[in-house]
Amino acid sequence: MIDKRVASADEAVRDIQDGASLAVGGFGLCGIPEHLIGALVRKGVTGLTCFSNNAGVDGFGLGLLLENRQIHKMVSSYVGENAEFERQYLSGELEVELVPQGTLAERMRAGGAGIPAFYTPTGAGTKVAEGKDLRDFQGRECVLEMGIFADFALVKAWRADRLGNLVYRKTARNFNPMAATCGKVCIAEVEEIVEVGDLDPDHIHTPGVYVHRLVLGQAYEKRIEKIVTRG
């Protein structure tokens, strides 16, 4: 019987070693794998390369790994809201590769589909294109971008069954489906695990064939990155 559940987040990340590359789902603080990140903090692995839309905030999300000097390189599309990120980058402690947001999503999707590289007009004529192969397609200059093939994918879903089929909830879906496919080992933490057959096949966002380990998370903080209300 296929059963991809593991007992804890710590067990799920047991074989993530120093120098590993991670594709991490989430957008801001929405849909981030809180418990898996916490397990990596406890494990103390260093030299990590993280492919993620952003690096969390000070004291939460990937920001916790930054504070512990566990991340060597961030490949991201947004780097605001994190003072420690800024400090480490300006001091030369952290290597940063900025990627347009849609390009980052497509690089993850391409890696998951086994596509080594693709051309896109996004970034042509800017610093993003420096040092990259350029070609003209239908009169538009395009930049060669590489697919992302990470050692591990860490994602957060809403519901799953023991086979690893995942359902995300609303905007918490964001980068998670693409990240899930481009890691050699995909680890998913979820809020609820249901019986096989309880998920409508038409509503499954990530098929279980991509997922290797499942962790049932509890007591999610789900912090809001920036609260804006009317006066």
Can you list the domains of the chain with their CATH numbers?
Answer: 18-116+149-216 (3.40.1080.10)
Of the chain, the percentage scoring pLDDT greater than 70 comes to 100
Distance CA 85, CA 87 (A): 6
- Give residue 1's pLDDT: 84
Tell me the per-residue pLDDT of 128-156, one tens digit each, with 9 for 90 and over: 999 999 999 999 999 999 999 999 999 99
Sequential pLDDT tens for the chain (231 residues): 899 999 999 999 999 999 999 999 999 999 999 999 999 999 999 999 999 999 999 999 999 999 999 999 999 999 888 999 999 999 999 999 999 999 999 999 999 999 999 999 999 999 999 999 999 999 999 999 999 999 999 999 999 999 999 999 999 999 999 999 999 999 999 999 999 999 999 999 999 999 999 999 988 998 988 889 998
Query: What length does the chain have?
Result: 231
Give the SS3 label for residue 139.
coil
| Helix, strand and coil percent figures for the chain, each rounded to 5 | 25, 30, 45
The structure tokens 């590769």 sit at 97
Give the SS3 label for residue 59.
coil
Helix (H) or strand (E) holding 117: strand 117-120
